[in-house]
Amino acid sequence: MTTESLLHLLRQTVGDAHVLTGAGLERYERDWQQRVHGKALAVVRPASTAEAAAVLAACAQARVAVVPQGGNTGLVAGGVPDASGTQVVLSLQRMQAVRAIDAHNMTMTVEAGCTLQQVQQAAAQAGLLFPLSLGSEGSCTIGGNLATNAGGTQVVRYGNARELCLGLEVVTAQGQIWEGLSGLRKDNTGYDLRDLFIGSEGTLGVITAATLRLYPQPVAQLTAWVALPDLQQASALLQLARQQLDAGLSGFEVMNQLALSLVAKHLPQLRPPMWQSQPWCVLLELSDSQSEQHARERLERLLEAALQQGLISDAIVAASVQQAQALWHVREGITLAQAQEGQNLKHDVSIAISAIPQFVQQANAALLQAWPDVRILTYGHLGDGNLHYNVQHPQGQTPAQFNARHGQAISETVYALVRRFGGSISAEHGIGALKRDTLPQYKSPVALQLMRAIKQALDPQALMNPGKVLAALPAQPGAQGGAE
Amino acid sequence: MTTESLLHLLRQTVGDAHVLTGAGLERYERDWQQRVHGKALAVVRPASTAEAAAVLAACAQARVAVVPQGGNTGLVAGGVPDASGTQVVLSLQRMQAVRAIDAHNMTMTVEAGCTLQQVQQAAAQAGLLFPLSLGSEGSCTIGGNLATNAGGTQVVRYGNARELCLGLEVVTAQGQIWEGLSGLRKDNTGYDLRDLFIGSEGTLGVITAATLRLYPQPVAQLTAWVALPDLQQASALLQLARQQLDAGLSGFEVMNQLALSLVAKHLPQLRPPMWQSQPWCVLLELSDSQSEQHARERLERLLEAALQQGLISDAIVAASVQQAQALWHVREGITLAQAQEGQNLKHDVSIAISAIPQFVQQANAALLQAWPDVRILTYGHLGDGNLHYNVQHPQGQTPAQFNARHGQAISETVYALVRRFGGSISAEHGIGALKRDTLPQYKSPVALQLMRAIKQALDPQALMNPGKVLAALPAQPGAQGGAE
């Protein structure tokens, strides 16, 4: 099939208005950090699963690669085309239906193009909670959240996107529809295809809809902010909080002084509290199923115990929802504040919670020995063992120059330690294009072999988001599609 | 390689004493329900992962099939060889090490052959909880629990075996070791191999060890037993309990009158309470992280609200741990009581929780119209939407004769309704050999195609537990092993 016949077929499938070609497609072609600038053959915007399946079948027939895209808010350039101008971007953004809410079963079925915020709001309207929560929730889509197994701030209580999904609808590389939507909490009828597609970053098929797990809304939610002398104390506070609050602990975020100082510098209106007195602060959230008073008593009991044990030096508890939101805004402001300070070297790592203080100590020592003036921002989801361990250029130097010159060596230093501690070089951001060539150095060769075998089995023509997660492989000789 | 050379090589690998051949191997060759009687070429008992890998490599070279086996307590004959006498049973029972416990990270790494009870006890000794709990926990192994994604009685709070596992060590069909053990709660570095092996029933590789997620031990645990007029009320009680107790709700089991009457008949010493007054009883468990008193107040508040709303007619709360255990023994006694009544037709189904009352009503009506005298035992994990909907022969008839004559039609009637309600024909038992030929009628053809593609990719010689889950396929021409 020629390119022209393919485009003609695609226009017949989704309508002329939804096959975009030519100039003006930058928002689909570059990642939002603007690290990668690609060029699409076309951007195709199906309105339904049937249309998406027809698009994939046509592309398979024409042997044209497909790059699925949601809100394009990813951090590893996993949803943008390469520069060849030969790849079709499949935008799911028109598929925004909330297909069903079953409040009694505590599930909802939504299409991939719903933003995370739309999903949260639809759940709230049914009196329930969809707990996934991230900075980009206003524009990221649930399809993208699942394709990348997004994490966020509530993982310590509710798990990652994976744990919040009960069933999927997927279009395969051959354009077939797997109708795996399900509100079942137990189903042992064969291989776990759901979890295979979740986190595969569009390289095995396209998620078009999902059945999500909902929770009762907390009756009361309280947020505390505490100052601490070191990470060891933060880690001990986490242990105490898990013991006393159990599932009531719904957030546990740690931030070092440098991270908060950048918020104070670039976003002074957010007024980060306590950061000048101690090297570390923790934001701790309690979600309670009984009452505001019960929540307050529990939280105060925890903080008193922590003060008595010498784990914390100071603490405040937000007195209102507004105050709690203001504290969360400080935490979420770190991303923007560090961007304003100049592009930095990001490391989204996870380590066993028990080893985190030691990891940070050794990583800091190794970096400061080789690059004495770098500034290390350490913050993140301590409750999940997930740190954003970011390295900012020395003051007085240009970020772009410094990163170009030292970036690779710095990241290798960090990742070597991550490996030594049995950690992960991508806790929640995924691999995409940006970490694809780094992955083989840190992942088990057997795991990579298994991944490649699965990729070839489900996408023998190598057309699904090629070059993401795994380096693009040539199509199997004679592969014509069909999963068998 | 000849059979004799293979056996020689296996003896060299694991020692003469651990390659069992000839007579006296029945306990490895038949399932514990004694529905399938197979014949093994040999039973091989490796002591370590390296030995297991060498065994699999040798079998791959000799093109001999391997049937992994744990405690051999499964309900679908997934762990026993066929009758050909050509398959090697790989028993993991000698691999029983608890390799590590990290109390601060709340994880433990154990070998596949540990019994579930050993795992629970090792966690308890570290002051933590491993919450997976099933009737066979004294003899089933954690490797088998993971290979079948076991469920049990605590799923409503803690999830299935899948949700309790953070990392795996697996020997592939080619005898390679995937070192995927990990205590990480977040790791987005590629496809979710862990969840692919979990629940694959030994058909893709052999789980040799796992890193498990632990929880704080509850400070107090209370058990209530209530009587109810119908399933609709039970379902409404569940909704109320989830709302009021949230994560505190750790068990919600429902039992119909017939199930309890069989316990009263065959196991009278267990003394099931209240079953004569109402058609249904519910066992409800609250796990509390504060205190016995707090737990009691919460539970009493719940039961008062349920009484006021007319959901329940009577309730007791166990006054001691012994009383609570006695109530659980009644629930667990149903399996034995029904076996003593005569072999029945088991249906381990799941349905959206909201649809369960309607499903049971329609299934009862359909069965009683066609077979007016059958006796329907309905019990199970209502909190997870998982019912054991078992059909017992009419009184005065012989179970074997009745089941042989009507079994298939009865199961088809039940499963047709399960399909109409979007449910699963195997909620927690798996597929194994017994449900293998039923599965294709109820599973999406696209899902089956994807499963076969994955099977061929990871096990191209078709040597891993052939004939389980999927019908045995011929090996790919020229397939020599190697996952690529």
Nearest CA in chain A to B237: A104
The contacts of residue A331 (CB under 8 Å, 6+ apart) are: A153, A253, A255, A283, A379
Q: Rounded CA gap, B212 and B161, in Å? A: 9
Question: What is chain A's mean pLDDT, rounded?
Answer: 96
Please state at what angle helix B445-458 crosses helix A445-458, rounded to 10 degrees. Answer: 140
Q: Rounded CA gap, B338 and B342, in Å? A: 6
Residue A248 has pLDDT above 90, yes or no: yes
How does pLDDT run across B218-231, given as a tens digit for each residue? 999 999 999 999 99
Helix extents (H) in B291-370:
292-308, 321-341, 356-370
Residues of A in contact with B180 (CB under 8 A): 444, 447
Residue B238 has pLDDT above 70, yes or no: yes
The ipTM of this complex is: 0.96
DSSP B403-466: HHHHHHHHHHHHHHHHHHTT-BS-SSS--TTTTTTTHHHHS-HHHHHHHHHHHHHH-TT--BST
Residue A482 has pLDDT above 70, yes or no: no
Burial class (CB in 10 A: 0-12, 13-18, 19+), A102: middle
Nearest CA in chain A to B183: A352
Q: Rounded CA gap, B19 and B30, in Å? A: 18
The contacts of residue B120 (CB under 8 Å, 6+ apart) are: B130, B132, B133, B137
Residues of A in contact with B185 (CB under 8 A): 155, 350, 384-386
Contact across the interface for B454 and A458, Cβ inside 8 Å: yes
Nearest to A463 by CA among A55, A91, A145, A75: A55
The residue-averaged pLDDT of B7-27 equals 97
How many other β-carbons are positioned within 10 Å of the β-carbon of residue B411? 18
Contact across the interface for A450 and B172, Cβ inside 8 Å: yes
Backbone Cα Rg of chain B: 23
Please tell me which of the candidates B246, B446, B483 has its beta carbon nearest to residue A216: B246
- Type of residue at B228: L
- Check residue B479 and give its pLDDT: 52
What would the CATH number be for the domain defined by B341-430? 3.30.70.2740
Rounded to 10 degrees, the C-alpha dihedral A288/A289/A293/A295 comes to -20
Total number of residues shown for chain B: 484
Please tell me which of the candidates B102, B298, B449 has its beta carbon nearest to residue A352: B102
Nearest to A389 by CA among A259, A232, A234, A252: A259
- Type of residue at B393: H
Q: Rounded CA gap, A342 and A347, in Å? A: 16
Report residue B85's pLDDT band, with 50, 70 and 90 as the boundaries.
Answer: very high
What 8-state DSSP symbol labels residue B472? -
Backbone Cα Rg of chain A: 23
How many angstroms away from the CA of A155 is the closest CA of chain B? Answer: 9
Report residue B475's pLDDT band, with 50, 70 and 90 as the boundaries.
Answer: low
How many angstroms away from the CA of B344 is the closest CA of chain A? Answer: 21
The contacts of residue B297 (CB under 8 Å, 6+ apart) are: none
Contact across the interface for A184 and B447, Cβ inside 8 Å: no
The residue-averaged pLDDT of A95-118 equals 98
The CA–CA distances, whole Å, from A318 to A221, A224, A285, A323, B288 equal 10, 6, 10, 5, 26
How does pLDDT run across B57-66, given as a tens digit for each residue? 999 999 999 9
Residues of B in contact with A235 (CB under 8 A): 104
How many angstroms away from the CA of B484 is the closest CA of chain A? Answer: 5
Looking at the domain covering A220-319, what would its CATH class be?
alpha beta
| CATH architecture of residue range(s) A3-91 | 2-Layer Sandwich (3.30)
What's the token pair of residue A47? 């309105």
Contact across the interface for B186 and A160, Cβ inside 8 Å: yes
- Type of residue at A324: A
CATH number 3.30.70.580 given to B98-216: no
How many angstroms away from the CA of B28 is the closest CA of chain A? Answer: 24
- Chain B interface disruption, residue of A186, A347, A451, most B CBs within 10 A: A186
Q: Are A242 and A252 in contact (CB under 8 A)?
A: no
- Check residue B482 and give its pLDDT: 42
Burial class (CB in 10 A: 0-12, 13-18, 19+), A172: buried
Residue A483 has pLDDT above 70, yes or no: no
- Check residue A475 and give its pLDDT: 61
Residue A361 CA, distance from chain mean position: 26
Nearest CA in chain B to A171: B446
What's the token pair of residue B230? 């119908």
How does pLDDT run across B313-343, given as a tens digit for each residue? 999 999 999 999 999 999 999 999 999 999 9
Please tell me which of the candidates A103, A386, A456 has its beta carbon nearest to residue B457: A456
Structure pTM?
0.97
How does pLDDT run across B63-79, given as a tens digit for each residue? 999 999 999 999 999 99
How many other β-carbons are positioned within 10 Å of the β-carbon of residue A416? 13
How many angstroms away from the CA of A199 is the closest CA of chain B? Answer: 6
How many angstroms away from the CA of A242 is the closest CA of chain B? Answer: 7
* Sheet bearing A19-20, strands edge to edge: A19-20, A40-44, A87-91, A66-69
Give domain limits for chain A. 3-91, 98-216, 220-319, 341-430
Contact across the interface for B442 and A172, Cβ inside 8 Å: no
Q: Rounded CA gap, B278 and B228, in Å? A: 6
How does pLDDT run across A160-218, given as a tens digit for each residue? 999 999 999 999 999 999 999 999 999 999 999 999 999 999 999 999 999 999 999 99
Q: Are B167 and B194 in contact (CB under 8 A)?
A: yes
Residues of A in contact with B103 (CB under 8 A): 354
What is the share, in percent, of chain B residues with pLDDT greater than 70?
98
Contact across the interface for B190 and A422, Cβ inside 8 Å: no
Please report the beta strands in A408-480, taking only residues with DSSP state E, as ranges in sequence order. Answer: none
Q: Are A80 and A118 in contact (CB under 8 A)?
A: no
- Chain B interface disruption, residue of A185, A249, A286, A480, most B CBs within 10 A: A185
How does pLDDT run across A407-446, given as a tens digit for each residue? 999 999 999 999 999 999 999 999 999 999 999 999 999 9
Contact across the interface for B351 and A184, Cβ inside 8 Å: yes
Q: Are A431 and A76 in contact (CB under 8 A)?
A: yes
The contacts of residue A339 (CB under 8 Å, 6+ apart) are: none
Q: Rounded CA gap, A26 and A328, in Å? A: 32
Helix extents (H) in A88-204:
116-125, 142-147, 155-158, 193-197
- Check residue A33 and give its pLDDT: 85
How does pLDDT run across B418-427, given as a tens digit for each residue? 999 999 999 9
Q: Tell me if B220-319 shares its fold with B341-430.
A: yes
Contact across the interface for A107 and B352, Cβ inside 8 Å: yes
- Chain A interface disruption, residue of B132, B145, B186, B359, most A CBs within 10 A: B186
